[in-house]
Amino acid sequence: MISDKWTALFTQFRTRTEVRGVLSSTLAGIMEPVTDSTTFPREISGLSTSNDREVMESYFRVKIFCEARRSRNRGGAAGGIADDVRDLFARALERMKQLPPEPITLAPFASVRSVRRT
């Protein structure tokens, strides 16, 4: 089953950044060979994976699309791809929840000069 494959894929990573990077490349691999909008629905073509919040929002976007598709009883290639993408995001989020948050790094401040008052 494909979701078991993705669970095994994400298990090896130790940071959320690594999970997001593989999620992004896997998603690009799924979307790359498809150019026809009937095969890959436009509703899920612009998914973002650059931070934790975007991954969650993208997952909910795919999940809503899949639920709406089921209620309309649509099938075919678009439905299969959407279900695969939903499973991919679900497994990535599952692994990200297991990992600790990454520390926030702030940009270094410019040194402050002493100002003489006369």
How do residues 36-82 score in pLDDT, each as one tens digit? 555 566 767 778 888 888 889 989 988 888 888 776 655 666 677 77
| Sign of the dihedral through C-alpha 66, 79, 47, 101 | positive
| pTM of model > 0.85 | no
Rounded CA-CA distance 51/60 in Å is 15
Rounded CA-CA distance 22/98 in Å is 16
Mean pLDDT of the chain: 78
pLDDT score recorded for residue 68: 80
pLDDT at 115 over 60: no
DSSP category for residue 49: -
pLDDT score recorded for residue 62: 87
| Sign of the dihedral through C-alpha 16, 23, 78, 54 | positive
